[in-house]
Amino acid sequence: MSGPRDSGGCNQPRLDRRAAIRVVLAGRSDLLVVTGLGSTTYDAASVADDECNFYLWGAMGGAAMVGLGLAIARPDRPVLVVTGDGDTLMGLGALATIGVQAPPNLAIAVFDNGRYAETGMQPSHTDSAVDLVGVARSCGIDAALDIADEAALADFTRRVQRKEKTLFARVAIHADEPPRVLPPRDGVLLKNRFRRASGVE
């Protein structure tokens, strides 16, 4: 057996997660956002507690599928899922389901630090063997990008707005824990304000 393929990214270029989220949400316009359990929720809230953000405070493994249902229901709006490697790994089958459905207005950005930050920075499967870009591509999402610099991330952000095809981006980020910014945790409030702000209620 070989050892870990790349470990934690000491040698790899990686982005600061808060800088990355600012790029992804810059000029968000009519973007609808779903974030995964844990750090990506704090990241999105650190930019602004926008009512068109739907934060998952649980339901680990569910972020991409919430994005799929939303993207199918709202073909007129770009939908961006921002989640972590842990959430993505827990629901890997969702990438297969999304590859088959291929909604052109859905984009998934996985902030990948190869760690379970929420539980104490234990290594995740992406720290060694698993390449999420390869997984996404094998699931039929051919616009699957490996991003480790702000220019490429800004380009991805522009493509999200164009709603031309399903996008997947693995965004390499440092394994650190910036101060938590906690948005509301009341699920009913988050649901209702999202529906109102996005014009379905």
Partner 1 sequence: MTDKPQSPPDWRDRIFAALKSADIRQVGYVPDAGHARLIELCCADLEIRAVSLTTEEEGVALAAGAWLGGQRCALLMQSSGVGNCINMLSLAKACRFPLTMLVTMRGEWAEFNPWQVAMGSKTQAALELMDVMVYRVEEERDAAETVAAALDIAFNGSLATAVLLSQRLIGAKRWVK
- Site residues, partner 1 (CB under 8 A): 32, 34, 54, 56-74, 91, 93-94, 96-97, 100-101, 187-188, 190-191, 194-195, 198, 200-201
**20 versus 31: smaller Cβ distance to partner 1:** 31
Q: Which is nearer to partner 1, 4 or 69 (CB)?
A: 69
Label residue 61 left, alpha or beta by phi (over 0 means left) and psi (-120 to 50 means alpha): left
CB of 64 to partner 1, least distance (A): 8
Q: Which is nearer to partner 1, 5 or 73 (CB)?
A: 73
Identify which of residues 45 and 98 has a Cβ nearer to partner 1 in the complex. 98
What's the closest the beta carbon of residue 2 comes to partner 1, in angstroms?
29
Closest distance of CB 162 from partner 1, Å: 19
**For residues 70 and 90, what is the distance between their CA atoms, to the nearest angstrom?**
20
Q: How far apart are CA 84 and CA 88, in angstroms?
A: 6
Long-range contacts of 71-74 (CB under 8 A, 24+ apart): 71/103, 71/105, 71/106, 72/101, 72/103, 73/200, 74/32, 74/105, 74/198, 74/200
In degrees to the nearest 10, what's the CA dihedral of 115, 191, 156, 64?
50
Q: Which is nearer to partner 1, 118 or 146 (CB)?
A: 118
- Least separation in angstroms between residue 90's CB and partner 1 is 10
Angstrom distance (rounded) from CA 39 to CA 35: 9
Closest distance between partner 1 and the C-beta of residue 34, in Å?
7
